[in-house]
Structure 1
Amino acid sequence: MASSPPLPAVLALADDLSGAAEAARALGGPVRLCLTAPTGGAAAGAHDLVVDLNTRHLPPADAADAVRSALRYGGSGAPGSESSGAYGLLYKKIDSQLRGNVAAEALAYAEGAEALVIAPALPAARRTVTGGVVHVDGVPLHETNGWRAERATPPRSVAEAFSGLPVRRIPLTVVRSELPRLEAELKSVVASGAHPAPDAETGADLDAVVAAALRLGPGLRLLGSGGLAGALGRALARPAVPAPAPPSARGAAPLLVVAGTAEPGVARQIAHLTALGMSHLPLDPAELMSGSVEVRAGAVEVRAGVAPVDTVLSIDGSAGLHPAGGRALSAALAALATAWPGRPDLVLTGGETARATLDALGVRELEPVDEIHHGAVHSRTPDGRSVVTRPGSYGAEDSLLRIATALRPHLAATPAAG
């Protein structure tokens, strides 16, 4: 009996850490999650490779160069190139609300490809694409406040977000037609010199897009949200990753939740944790960035080495937050988390905060082991510390509660301090 051909390895590129972790879990199967782009020649091994390029807030030209460098490592397999393609499939993760350097990175990613298949829909987070426009909970993106922490205004369409790249929409009726029709439409768009951008509202829509794209070969590169990564993972049917070992509190290690996001719902999420008895430290942005965080009555002593407790750190946004201060706040939060006593396990919301914290800790690779809920990925560091990453805009009101009790099951049975 002939053995089945080996499944092609995937090289996935992301622009922030929480997105990289989301993509890693969505692909399924064994995967390496790297926080630094590998260098030198390499052949694909038994694992897919997901790389956080950490380009969300870089200048566009630098972000594009980071994409090109990663593609050189992976071997683009472009027609006529000297590389045979160390990785058989390429996937580029973008933000489902089209934030970041999506146009500059897409232009670099398209070099050497026949075309990109652009699908930012993320049905699990109620983000869909209809009429060529991203919708959040049914509202067009440009009419929401999803870009309130950005310095720019949101694009009015997918095509507008990818300025400089010819993009042609594929309607939902074609996506939901027979596969040969969708495949033919993809080929027609590519033949016209454009990049197909299919509408999608459901996981099944994205499954159809991936199935048609894979039939047309590696010249088409996938670019989209974690929803598209999930569809790719389902199509490849990777071997299941062994179930993670039961959660361990690593002895007396505390749990530190770092809420590095300006999302308005985070206060309600934190309230669920304080109801369990976790300490909460809302931090004044000016004090935090100046390095002069003071110990308040009843708060946790950070620097004197007293016995640590499970704690939530958050930004006090009562006076409003300026978009330009986001990176500085993430760095200041990272410095505080790194100095926290007891080598805590970490819950990090917001990709920039997560990346800054792990950079400060010297972590260069993560092993994704579980997904607590959509987008909330539990990983382990090489030295055994648990880290949960989650995009700042994800999660229902009980998101942090579910994460905390997954890492510390005893918290669910712990009465709140009276």
Structure 2
Amino acid sequence: MGAVRSALNEYSAHQPLVFFKIDSLLRGNIAATVRAASDQPVVLAPALPLGGRTVVNGVLHCDGVPLHESRAWQAERATPPVTIADVLAPMPCRIMTVDDVRSGELHARLVASIAADRIPVCDSATDTDLDTILTATVEIPDVRLIGSGGLASALGRALAVPGALPAPPMNPEHALLIVVGTADPGAAHQMRMLTDAGVRTVGIDARPPVQVEPRPDEVARLLTALEQGPAMLTLDAPDGVEPACSAELVRLLAATVQRTVEHVSSPTDLVLTGGETARRVLDGLGIDALTPITQVHHGAVHSRTPTGTSVVTRPGSFGDADSLVRIVEHLRPARKRKAEH
């Protein structure tokens, strides 16, 4: 909570609107984020309809299945919440149903909820619902928006600037490291396609017991792979990732990346899949700010660091089978042109 308040103190005085990005599967310290932000009016809308994540009567659904009945948290140590109210407890909230959202009176109902010291939690089934929520919310003075990438996209649509400048060109002299830290089953096919496209892969031993200290031989193999072109770091877990070891494995991935990047001769661009992996890697490298540039595909966001390197972040469960290939081709267009010829 202290980190959120520190960020608020740094940025909110200079920004007319503050948006907090949370995980679309309700993982992480959402209650602490909301509590830290709630010294001003707060509206919560966590749905991500394009990713199949909708909110119905205050319950998050994944492709129509309530979160707590799905397998979305299979790699987590904790059990998923049944309702969003459970996530926020003991903070009081009020559910804004889809009927409320589409009533034409949403703004008044949000204001009434805030006046009653209840955090509005908005249902959403479509991107149009999120657009409606955004329109009703931004009229509230000093409001703070909290949501997933769905609400962020709605904000982007509302603030879009015609004729925006194109993204600066990528530097092909940078090293390119792809870090796959997700346990999502769909990632296996994505990794195979990237390997088939010629990207070298280094797997770190993910069998328990897990040691967090990087293994010199794995760091050496990753350095060798990076010297020859884009390289991918993955978890080598033939029998699947043990949920009880997931936190240690993320720390091991991040520590291995940090140790490797320290010895790479050129600046390193990164592709990071899985939210916890991305956060750990960026923290380990001392990267505390990202400027979004563009979206490679839904959920895969290309950002620039203060030092000029590229970082693409993507939720572990997102993307078609060619997701990683598309991201690498976006960062290294010459590889795509070569493949086409």
Aligned partner of 1:372 among 285, 288, 296: 296
Aligned partner of 1:191 among 111, 115, 127: 115
Counterpart in 2 of 1:119?
45
**TM-score normalized with structure 1 length:** 0.72
SS in 2 for 1:150: coil
Counterpart in 1 of 2:72?
146
| Cα distance per residue 1:60-79 (max 9 Å; x no partner) | xxxx222223333345xxxx
One-letter code of the match for 1:312? M
Cα deviation for residue 275 of structure 1 reads 1.3
Counterpart in 2 of 1:209?
133
Aligned partner of 1:318 among 223, 229, 238: 238
Give unpaired runs (5+ residues) of structure 2: none
Counterpart in 2 of 1:174?
100
Matches for 1:25-104 after TM superposition, within 5 Å: 64-75=1-12, 85-104=13-32
Following the alignment from structure 1 to structure 2, what is the Cα–Cα distance between the partners of residues 254 and 223?
35
Cα deviation for residue 290 of structure 1 reads 4.8
Aligned partner of 1:332 among 237, 252, 255: 252
C-alpha distance 168-280 of structure 1, shift in aligned 2 (>3 A): same
Following the alignment from structure 1 to structure 2, what is the Cα–Cα distance between the partners of residues 411 and 171?
48
C-alpha distance 107-382 of structure 1, shift in aligned 2 (>3 A): closer
| Cα distance per residue 1:305-349 (max 9 Å; x no partner) | 994332211102323333453343233223333415443422111
Counterpart in 2 of 1:389?
313
| Cα distance per residue 1:25-80 (max 9 Å; x no partner) | xxxxxxxxxxxxxxxxxxxxxxxxxxxxxxxxxxxxxxx222223333345xxxxx
Cα deviation for residue 140 of structure 1 reads 0.9
8 A Cα contact 2:45 2:146, kept in partner: yes
Bigger Cα displacement from structure 2, 155-164 vs 191-200: 191-200
Following the alignment from structure 1 to structure 2, what is the Cα–Cα distance between the partners of residues 236 and 330?
35
Counterpart in 2 of 1:157?
83
SS in 2 for 1:315: strand
Cα deviation for residue 139 of structure 1 reads 1.1
Cα deviation for residue 141 of structure 1 reads 0.7
Following the alignment from structure 1 to structure 2, what is the Cα–Cα distance between the partners of residues 306 and 356?
21
One-letter code of the match for 1:163? A
SS in 1 for 2:234: strand
Following the alignment from structure 1 to structure 2, what is the Cα–Cα distance between the partners of residues 71 and 328?
30
Following the alignment from structure 2 to structure 1, what is the Cα–Cα distance between the partners of residues 225 and 195?
22
Counterpart in 2 of 1:265?
186
C-alpha distance 305-144 of structure 1, shift in aligned 2 (>3 A): closer
Following the alignment from structure 2 to structure 1, what is the Cα–Cα distance between the partners of residues 240 and 338?
34
Counterpart in 2 of 1:412?
336
Following the alignment from structure 1 to structure 2, what is the Cα–Cα distance between the partners of residues 279 and 103?
40
SS in 1 for 2:290: strand
C-alpha distance 182-207 of structure 1, shift in aligned 2 (>3 A): same
One-letter code of the match for 1:158? I
| Cα distance per residue 1:208-238 (max 9 Å; x no partner) | 11111122322x3221112112222333344
8 A Cα contact 1:308 1:342, kept in partner: no
SS in 2 for 1:280: strand
C-alpha distance 73-385 of structure 1, shift in aligned 2 (>3 A): closer
SS in 1 for 2:14: coil
Cα deviation for residue 125 of structure 1 reads 1.4
Cα deviation for residue 412 of structure 1 reads 3.2
8 A Cα contact 1:279 1:300, kept in partner: no
Counterpart in 2 of 1:279?
200
C-alpha distance 348-122 of structure 1, shift in aligned 2 (>3 A): same
| Cα distance per residue 1:139-192 (max 9 Å; x no partner) | 1111111112222111111112111111111121221232xx222222332333
Give unpaired runs (5+ residues) of structure 1: 1-63, 76-84
Cα deviation for residue 117 of structure 1 reads 1.3
Counterpart in 2 of 1:34?
none
Q: Percent identity?
A: 44
One-letter code of the match for 2:294? D
Following the alignment from structure 1 to structure 2, what is the Cα–Cα distance between the partners of residues 228 and 166?
22
8 A Cα contact 2:177 2:226, kept in partner: no
Aligned partner of 1:402 among 316, 326, 334: 326
One-letter code of the match for 1:87? Q
C-alpha distance 140-305 of structure 1, shift in aligned 2 (>3 A): closer
C-alpha distance 302-132 of structure 1, shift in aligned 2 (>3 A): closer
**Greater percentage in helix:** 2
C-alpha distance 167-240 of structure 1, shift in aligned 2 (>3 A): farther
Tell me which of the two structures has the higher relative contact order, counting C-alpha pairs closer than 8 angstroms and 6 or more residues apart. 1
Following the alignment from structure 1 to structure 2, what is the Cα–Cα distance between the partners of residues 65 and 97?
23
SS in 2 for 1:301: helix
C-alpha distance 359-90 of structure 1, shift in aligned 2 (>3 A): closer
C-alpha distance 221-324 of structure 1, shift in aligned 2 (>3 A): same
Following the alignment from structure 1 to structure 2, what is the Cα–Cα distance between the partners of residues 406 and 208?
32
Following the alignment from structure 1 to structure 2, what is the Cα–Cα distance between the partners of residues 413 and 167?
52
Give the RMSD, CA atoms, in angstroms: 2.7
Cα deviation for residue 134 of structure 1 reads 0.7
Counterpart in 2 of 1:6?
none
Cα deviation for residue 239 of structure 1 reads 6.2
2:158 aligned with 1:235: yes
| Cα distance per residue 1:65-113 (max 9 Å; x no partner) | 22223333345xxxxxxxxx433222222111111111222122112x2
8 A Cα contact 1:254 1:308, kept in partner: no
